[in-house]
Structures are given as structure tokens and as C-alpha cells.
Amino acid sequence: MEKNLFPYDHLRDFMDKTKQVMKYLTLFLLLFTLYSYTDSYSQNTKLRLNLKDATLLDMIRNIESQSEFVFMYGDDLLPVLSNERLDFKVRNLTIENTLDRYFKGREIAYFLSGRQVVLRKNETVQKFSELPDVQYTVSGIVSDEAGPLPGASIVIKGTTTGTTTDFDGNYSIEVPSSDAVLVVSYIGYTTSEVPVNGQTAVNVVLKEDAQALEEVVVTALGFEVRTDKLGSAVSSVRPDALVRSGETSVANAIQGKMAGVNITRSTGDPGSGSNIRIRGANTIFGSTQPLIIVDGIPINNNNTSGGGSSATGNGTSQQSRLNDINPNDIETLQVLKGASAAALWGSRASNGVVVITTKSGRKGFRISLKSTVAIDKVNATQKLQSTFGQGRGGLYRSGTEIRSWGDEIAARAGGEDAFDTSGAFFIGDQTGRTYYPVANGTADNPSGGKNSRETFNDKNFDQVFQEGILLEQSLSLSAGDDQSSLFFSLGNTDQDGVIRNNDYKRHTVNISASRKFNDYLSLKLKGKYSRISANRIQQNSNVAGILLGLYRTPADFDNQDFTGTFVDDTGAETPGRHRAYRNGIGQSNRPRYNNPQWTTDRQKAPNIVNRHIYSADLDIFPVEGMNIKLRGGVDTYNDRRSYLYPIGSARTSTPPVSRIDGSLVFDNIAETELNFDAIIKYDTDITEDITSSFILGWNINDRKFNRETSYGNEFIADRELFNLSNSRVIGSENFRSHIRSNRGYSTANFGLFDQLYIDLSGTVEAASTISDPFFYPSASAAWQFTNSGLISEDSFMSFGKVRLSWGKVGIQPRAYGNSTNFEGDFTYNSGVAGGLNSVSNGGGLRLNNLLGNPTLKPEIKTEIEGGLELRFFDNLLSTSFTYYTNEVKDILLEIDTAPSFGFQRFYTNGATIENRGFEFEFNANWLQSSEDWTFSTYGNFARNRNEVTSLLGAEVQQLTGFGTGDSVAAEGFQMGAIFGGKLPRDDNGNIILDDNGFPEGEPEYDVIGDPNPEWTAGLGFNVGYKNLAMNVLFEHSQGGDFYDITRQINARYGRAEVTGNIVTIPTDGIVDFDGNSYSAGDRVRGNLYDFGGGNVLLNEPWYDGNGADNRGFSELWLQDATWTRLRELSLTYSFGEKFLEKIKLSSASIGVTGRNLFLWTDVIGNDPDKNFAGVGNSRGLDYYTNPSTKSYLFNLNLTF
């Protein structure tokens, strides 16, 4: 059904042309800026001072606060810098002019290199030139893991004698003796003290200072701000932690590293999407994922199933578009969790904001190469029984039999089966083996003609699962000086999953260029291209899915020959038949369930994605303190998907695909997002003690989505042809949406007395999905009480801050929800005429059964957050505590209406959700003073309690599911509550039993469980000795329920391990669900269980009935979802200086990493950290979902 009702159609052509112009303009500017690198930061940075009765030390601190200059000096200079008081007045002078003015005539000299200023006494210069001949020269290179560090400071310990490195990181310094110690420092890196030890060549590799890097974060608008001044919580993950994880997915790489940020994988399929939930659920049917901002512009993170696939039924896992970003290209990643921090993005920020900044060129020139090889393995598999064969009632049965309640395999005669060779048979393509029917069992001979005791559980598994292989290469080039920079990277990921023929390939190109033309104008351009290609494997509630067919296959059935020739009683041959356990000799063209190898080898689900992301930032500085920023960006992708089901694939009743006679589906999905911001930022000091910063901005955003689905059924030729002309029945359908919005926003930030910081913001947003604009305000305050004089300077507490914030954010209604639209594919049913379909009977339109609502409003979340941040022992230990509470009102629902209303459903606001929670994060560097050893710990803890407080009287809204067990929103429960068959209980909670001791009656469907954890935590350790470093990360999830529907249905069909037990009846005898009695000493298949009235026998009648049937007592199959896993273990060795000199490299390292190596959980045969419904509010369910994985990675990093 095509919808195109956007009211501003007269602007469409203009926006399309703007999109094209922005593409070409961005490419042109990228080429234009890739030229000379001249001048330095010091020559172009203008300073402003207005200090009265101040010391030189006050002047230095003021310069550091308004610029990136860092001063270094010894204690011997403190009297000179602190004693004399002057008035300082500077306006638009360079650092050199300023220092010359105030150091002239005083006993101070300076060395200036880039952003570092080294101070010394004047007489030191003379002494340096008069050093005796016993001195000698030491030289070398200062670098980090990525390459040389130009402008690094080298000072002889105990003196003020020093120098700085040149453009290539080289230095040379004369030392007074062979036992001198060099103090090497650089901004953002840990200072290193290196003994000379009589050497003439000393190379130094500095390590990044984690504390220093985390001091600055990027706000929702892309501006940098110090975290110490923020009144709201922000969590960050360092880029090396992202890359070290070895994950190809950005979302999975941050698992366990942030408080309040919960990442759940949908499956272990390569490239599959992950669910990102920040501070609980904030909507019911709206977008559940956070807004992703990359380099200042919003990008798409869609996970749509499209028209040819289903999230929970007939379909494959889908990729997350966030995975299109190469983790190796990320410079910073921060999560804005609270409403106050994200309010500037209005109706797109209710689920939080993930702010990513990709890499730019750095000063100097370096080339980096990273290569990774990984092995993936299945993390957990269902436990299956191999004691009993195909059949029911204890008798072997083949043919179309679905169950494994047959005979005991060990009791068979052994040897070759007794085949019936008188009639039809099957010749396998894979082995050439001939298969004949086998006689079914009888009461006298339970095994019938089935003599073989061989079982195939492991063999059948190995035929479709393997060790996955990942090959990844990343090459980057970085160059720059104080005026210009360039970064270019290429990435290649080639991954074969743990399921055969499940692959994923990603090729990325990233380019970033910046140019500072003069003091008034600068330009930054970034462009990214990704090409994704993959083949996905069918899963979930899907008779053509891999695990449904695999886990239900009886232990005594060999799946190896999955295709072949069927020969009937007359000798007529039918080649290409599909052989599966319910079609043992290919006797039917309907296999009922796919043989798993048919799923992996014959069915195809390839897709190709081409994605472009471009952004441009033009910064104008017309007057002192003012920054006019013009930022534009475009994110566009095309995802071409195909689904091929050869003739003979298991049938589905879900239109438009029938599959059994061959089906082909094409999905062409395209999305484009245009974004433009015009921002004016003005910084000024109102007084000497009051600073301020103001922002005024305007944004326009344009989003288009287009899906075109075409399909063909009933193939003419049984060939692997991706061509609809091979189909007898051809159809198509499409969907389009177009959303436009514009926002006006402003902020006002004040700093008072260097301790109190107040931020105010407001956003007014108008959008095509709502009729009236909405206002999103926020306010926050941060008080650094350690700067107030309340805490002594020599206290063990080095920093303390109290923060408080309040804000509103929202979620827009879906496109076209404010109008009643037409639909063109519908059927009227008549008892006389049968079904009358509009498409097959000449076409037609009618009003949709869903009534639109012109008064729709956004869903509004209002949140208040308070926190405390403390650092101790000179920042050795850092902690952060946060408590928040929020309420989401006007949540959008579809409400059923009375038939007299004229419509079936009504789309409206009205539901309410509440969240409240606590978060804690810490980081501790315990061995700061050790030369050889490093040891640090980091961790987080989060607890969120959620409640659906109103559903407009609906009580329950289904999120996902199919009747056996559903994920729902239910009043009085947390979002995603598990809905299923509930055990009958009395007022005391005891199970009500029938006369035989089993639960009485039929299951009543209600809320039976809560999948949400009580709390989550992560704990990590970094240990280093010289060039060897190890990182360990544990992640824990406490509580919640996991409903393993897979295990339940496996039990119904007699395949679950629990159904393979043989018990001896106790002394008093026992009864089963059907009332059959068993005497003491009898040896029977089943389990003894006490529901509260004494032991009963759980056997086939129970499991095939209320015990495990699709509509049985689901509550019995809930498991405690608590888990602990070794999320990450890595060991890295960085080669030493002598080796690097020999091979002419700046840095080199090798490493090994393990992901999800160990899982501790009471969940049986499954990993609770996955979700069969994919990305969304549903969680805690599994139904034949492709398995999760664990990985072993080996990497090599080189920098030239």
C-alpha cells in the first residue's frame, strides 16, 4: 500500500535538489581542503586577559583555561611567579607576544612548541651553554602506540633544562651525567620518567592518560565541554576499549562498560542487530533505540524486517545500520542518558543519545595497519535426548511423524534396518546412498523394522554448524599541522558465521579533512562509505528455519542426504526432492519441516547495502568569543534484499510467500536523512567571577523511507534463478513515508566563582507528524564543592561535585498516524461467493480500518536526575553516583473500537510508563608511581525499575509473540512482561491440583514472568608489566525470567533432554496425566515430579498436553535469567624500542582477545543474552533463534 500524504509536497523538489547539491559540494570541498599545512597553533591563537592585582601564576592559569596551552615549570620558579602582583590586559595577542610583554626583564625564559610552554630561569640558559665536557648528548624519538609525538616535552629531572620534540618526534638533549633521568610529558598522556643509564639513544613510548581523556566530552550539539562542569550524567568508552573488544558491531563492543546501558544481542549471526536500552523502556510501540549522532549529525540505525521477512516468524535476523560504522574509525563514544543532556534533540531523544566522533587527522604523519583473525564458536545449544527414537506411544514410526516418543534405541536388535525394498525409495545426492521405508513398530515389536542403534545428534549438528572465521584489516593515514589535517582509512571485514553459508562482508572508506583558513574561518569535512554484503539464514518460528528443523529431528535420523531422487512404485523418478525426517524417502513434495542442510545450502537470503554519510562544518569567528557554525549532513543507504526458496521448501501460510512450489522475494529498502543546523555560540565573561556561554540554533531535518517488495510464487523451472519471470504468480507492494521537522533551540550556561555551573536549554519543535509545535525544556546545575573552601587542599578528596538536572524529551508519532488513509489490498469474505480480493478482482481502494487522529501529540518523558561525583587521592579513584526518576506520558497505542464505530482500531495518546533507577561507575588506577607495573580497575552497577501505569483500560498490549508465549505491556508490570499459560493457584499461592495430583483445568493466559533484570553490573581489570598488558571484563545480570519456548516445544515432541529419562516407579506406585497407574519397580520413560500433592509421572501424555503443548502451562518453563560471563579477556604485547628501531616502525603490538569465553547461568542449553524478537521492547524469549557465539581473536597492529 502506497501512502504519500505529506502536506508540504511543494518543497519536495527543493529538498531533493538540496540533497544532490550537498553531496557534490561536500565532495568538492573534501578535495579543495587537501592542500598545504602551514602555520602553528601558537601563531593563530589569540589571547584575551583582563586581570587586576594578579600574579604571573594567575596569568598562566587564565591562559590555560581559555586555550589549549599547557605550562610546565619547576618549583624553583614558584617564588618568581607568585610574589609580584600586576594588572594584565591583553586583547587578541599571540602567546609569544603575551609572554614577551610580561616576562621581559624578569628571571624567566620560555621554550614554546605547539601547545606546550616550558618555563625556566634565565640564568639556566647561560649555565647550559657552559656545561663541562663531561656532559654528553642523548637523542631519540618520543611516540605513542600510533606514532611520533611532535611537541613532547623532555626535561632533566631536578632541573629546568629541557627541550621539545620536532615534527617527527625527534629530540636531542645534553645531560650532565650518565645517571640522569629524563621526564617526558605530553598533553593527554601519562608522564614518564626514563633513566638514561649511560645510553646515548633513548626512545620513549607514552601511554594515554585515561583520566585526562575522559575530562572532555562531546555534547548533543557537537561542542566539547569538560565533564566536571556538567549537571547530568554522561558515560564514555575509550576508543581502544572499543577496538580491543574485537567486535565488528559498535553496540556489542560497549557491552558491560556503562551503567544503565543494556545491550542485548538478537542472535550470534554476523552483522545482526542488537537492542540498546538506556535506563529502561520509554515507549511501547514507538522507536525503542537511542538517537545516534555521528560527527554532529543524526544517522539511521534502522533494523526493519521489510516485506519479505518477519522479526519472529518466517524470516532472518536483520542487520543494524549502526554496524555500518567501522569501530576502528571511532575517536570518542559517549552516551547521554538523561533527558536534560538530550533535550536539545526534542522528540528523537526519549531513548537517550549515543554521540560518536570519528577520527580526524593528527599533527605529524603516520600510517597505521591493523589485522585481525578470529575464530567463532557456538556459545550454547539445546540439550537433546538420544535415548528414544522417532514415533509415539513407545513405538517407532516414520513417515510424517513429528514426535520422538518412539521406542528405546538401546533396546533395538542392532545392525542394519529391515528395509522394505518392494516399493518406492530415495537415492541421496550427497552420498549416493539408497533409502527404503522401514516398518513401523507394534505392541509386540516396538521397534518394527528399525534395528540400528546409531544416533546422529552430533553429526546432524556438525553438518550445518562450523567454527566461524573472521578476517579484518584496517589501514589508516593521518597527517596534519596546526592549520590543516587529513585522515583517511580503509576497512575490510570478511566473516563466515558459525552457521554454514551465513556470511557478512563490510568494506568501509572514511575520509576527514579540516582547514583553518585564518583566524575567522575554518572548515571540517567528513565522508564515509560502507558496502555490506551478506547471506542470512532463516530462523525462529519458521518451518524453513534452521534450528526448528534441527532440534526436532529425531536422534535416530541422519540428515546427511537432504536432496536426491525419489523413485515411486512404478519406477518414475523425481529428482531434486527434499528429504527431511518427516519426508524420510522424499515421498512428498512437502517436507513439512526443512532439513537443516536445505536451509543452509539451498535457500538463499543475500543482501547488499550501499551507504553514504557526509557532513560539513563551517565555523566562522566574526568577533571575539563568537562562533557561527553551519553544519550540514546527509545519510543515505539502499538495502537490496533477496529471499529464494527453491521448489520443495517447507510451506508457509503467511502471504505473499508460499515456498513449497518455489518463491522469490525482492525487498528494496532505501532511506535518506538530510540534516542542517545553523548555530551561533557566544562565550563571554560577565564579571571576573562569572563566565557565560550562549547558543542559539535552528535545525531542519528531512527523512524519507521507501520500501518496494515484489514476489513470485510457483516456479516454472526448478533453478536457482533470481528472476521473477521464472514465477507463474507475481505480485508487489510498497510503502513510503516522509517526515519533516524543524527545531529552534537555545542554551544558556553560566559558571560562577569557578565552582557552580548552571545550564538552561529550550527546544521548540514542529513536525509533520503532529499538528502543533512542542516545547522541550531542560535545566541542570553542578556544584564543585571542593572549590568552595569547604574541603582543605591537602584532603584525600581531590574532587567533589553534586549535580542535579531536569528535562523533557519525546517520541514522535509514526508517519501518517494523524490521518485516516486508504488501503488497496484487502479481501471480503462471503459464505456464498467465497473470498473477494481487491487485487485479483480488478483493483480498488477503501478506507483503512485504523482511524487516524489529527490531535496526536508526541510521547513526553519528564526526568529528574541527581548525582554525586567524587575523586580521591590525587584522582587515583574516581566515582560517580546517579539516581533518576522519569515518567513517560501520552504514549501512543492502537485501541480496539466497537464495530458501531466504523473502524477496528484507533491510534491515540494516553498510556503511561514510569522508570526509576540508580547507577554507579568507578575507575581506579592503583599503581600510578610504579615504573614497570600498572594496575587499574573499573566497574559499573545499575538498577532500573519500570512500571506500565496506564494502558487506557486495555490492560494488555501484545508486543511480540504467537500465542505460546508473548511479550506484552501490561498495567502494573514492567515493560515486556511475559504472557503465557498460568498455573491455577489458591490465595496462598499453592497450585490447585486435580485428583491425580496434576494442575487442575486448562491454562489461563496471564502475565507469568518479568524478563527485566533486577540489576546489572560490570567489573574490569587492567594489569600491565612493562610491555605486556592484560584486560579482563566480567559482566553480570541478576534476576529476571527467561522463557525458553524452544525447550518447551522440544519437550512436547520428545526431543528435550528432560524427556529422555528412564525412572523406576517408587514403592507406592504412581499415576500419569491420563490417570494410568504404574506399579512399584516398573521401569518407564518420564520424570517424577511433585506439584504439591505427591509424586506424579511426567510422561508423553503430560508433555504432549498441558505440560508442554503450545497452549500449555508456560509458567513451568520459566527459568531464572541470572547470568555472569567473562565478556572480554585480552592480552597485548607491545614491542620494545630496540626492536622497533631495527624494523623502522613507530610502534608494533600483537594481541589475543577472547569474547564471551565463559558463561555461568542456570538457564539450560541456552544463552539468555539474546532475543528472538530482534530489536525492540520484547526480551526474555527464545523460539528456535539462531545461537549466540564466543570468539577467539588474534591481532597485529603496526604504525609507520
**C-alpha grid cell for residue 70?**
599547557
Mean per-residue pLDDT of the chain: 87
3-state secondary structure of 82: helix
Is the pLDDT score of 7 beyond 50?
no
| β strands within 717-852, DSSP E | 727-752, 756-767, 774-783, 797-811, 822-823, 827-830, 834-837, 846-847, 850-851
How far is Cα 580 from Cα 593, in angstroms, rounded to an integer? 7
The pLDDT value recorded for residue 201 is: 78
Q: Is residue 629 part of a domain?
A: no
pLDDT digits (tens, 9 = 90+) for 382-432: 999 999 999 999 999 998 999 999 999 999 999 999 999 999 999 999 999
The pLDDT value recorded for residue 37 is: 34
Q: Going by C-beta distance under 8 Å and a sequence separation of 6 or more, which residues neighbour residue 284?
A: 891, 892, 893, 911, 913, 948, 957, 959, 969, 975, 1177
pLDDT digits (tens, 9 = 90+) for 961-1011: 777 788 999 999 999 999 999 999 999 999 999 999 999 999 999 999 999
> What is the Cα 24 distance to its own chain's centre?
32
Is the pLDDT score of 305 beyond 90?
no
Name the pairing type of β-strands 1015-1025 and 1028-1038: antiparallel
pLDDT digits (tens, 9 = 90+) for 1035-1054: 999 999 999 999 999 999 99
Last residue in a domain, options 1103, 1123, 1138: 1103
Instruction: Report CA torsion sign: 220, 225, 231, 237.
Output: positive
Is the pLDDT score of 932 beyond 90?
no
pLDDT digits (tens, 9 = 90+) for 762-774: 999 999 999 899 9
**C-alpha grid cell for residue 5?**
500524504
How far is Cα 337 from Cα 277, in angstroms, rounded to an integer? 10
Closest CA to 1127 of 1041, 1195, 1188, 1197: 1188
The pLDDT value recorded for residue 34 is: 39
Q: Going by C-beta distance under 8 Å and a sequence separation of 6 or more, which residues neighbour residue 1053?
A: 402, 403, 404, 405, 552
Amino acid at 1172: F
**C-alpha grid cell for residue 678?**
545553523
Is the pLDDT score of 1120 beyond 80?
yes
The pLDDT value recorded for residue 659 is: 85
Q: Which DSSP helix (H) or strand (E) runs through 17?
A: helix 12-32
pLDDT digits (tens, 9 = 90+) for 430-454: 999 999 999 999 999 999 999 999 9
Greater model confidence, 267 or 741: 741
Would you report the helix, strand and coil content of the chain in percent, each value rounded to 5? 15, 45, 40
The pLDDT value recorded for residue 114 is: 67
| Helices and strands counted in the chain (H then E) | 16, 71
Q: Is residue 280 part of a domain?
A: no
The pLDDT value recorded for residue 164 is: 81
Section 865-893 average pLDDT:
94
Structural domains in the chain (count): 2
Section 103-112 average pLDDT:
76
Q: Is residue 147 part of a domain?
A: yes
Q: Is residue 79 part of a domain?
A: yes
| Identity of the highest mean pLDDT range in 47-56, 319-328, 1012-1021 | 1012-1021
Q: Going by C-beta distance under 8 Å and a sequence separation of 6 or more, which residues neighbour residue 655?
A: none
Q: How many CB atoms lie within 10 A of CB 1182?
A: 26
The pLDDT value recorded for residue 850 is: 84
299-303, 798-802, 1093-1097: least confidently modelled range: 299-303
The pLDDT value recorded for residue 91 is: 67
How far is Cα 404 from Cα 554, in angstroms, rounded to an integer? 6
pTM for this model (two decimals): 0.82
Is the pLDDT score of 797 beyond 60?
yes
Q: CA geometry: angle at 857 spanning 854 and 858, to 5°?
A: 140
The pLDDT value recorded for residue 835 is: 63
Q: Is residue 448 part of a domain?
A: no
Q: Is residue 862 part of a domain?
A: no
Q: Going by C-beta distance under 8 Å and a sequence separation of 6 or more, which residues neighbour residue 568?
A: 423, 424, 574, 587
The pLDDT value recorded for residue 457 is: 97
pLDDT band for position 51 (cuts 50, 70, 90): confident
Is residue 621 within 8 A of residue 521, CB to CB? The reply is yes
Is the pLDDT score of 1159 beyond 90?
yes
CATH number of the domain where residue 94 is located:
2.60.40.1120
Section 696-720 average pLDDT:
93
The pLDDT value recorded for residue 837 is: 67
pLDDT digits (tens, 9 = 90+) for 778-796: 999 999 999 888 888 788 8
CA atoms within 13 A on the CB side of 49: 28
Instruction: Report CA torsion sign: 1074, 1079, 1080, 1081.
Output: negative
Q: Is residue 1190 part of a domain?
A: no
Q: Going by C-beta distance under 8 Å and a sequence separation of 6 or more, which residues neighbour residue 831?
A: none
448-452, 600-604, 651-655, 920-924: least confidently modelled range: 651-655
Section 858-872 average pLDDT:
95
Q: Is residue 735 part of a domain?
A: no
Could you tell me what percent of the chain has a pLDDT over 90?
A: 59
pLDDT digits (tens, 9 = 90+) for 323-357: 999 999 999 899 999 898 888 888 888 999 999 99
Last residue in a domain, options 208, 243, 259: 208
Domain that holds residue 84: 41-208
pLDDT band for position 158 (cuts 50, 70, 90): confident
pLDDT band for position 23 (cuts 50, 70, 90): very low
Last residue in a domain, options 208, 223, 255: 208
The pLDDT value recorded for residue 829 is: 65
Over the Cα atoms of the chain, what is R_g? Answer: 34
Could you tell me what percent of the chain has a pLDDT over 70?
A: 91
pLDDT digits (tens, 9 = 90+) for 74-89: 777 888 888 778 778 7
Cα torsion for 321, 326, 327, 330, to the nearest 10°? -100
Q: CA geometry: angle at 711 spanning 710 and 713, to 5°?
A: 165
pLDDT digits (tens, 9 = 90+) for 359-381: 999 878 889 999 999 999 999 99
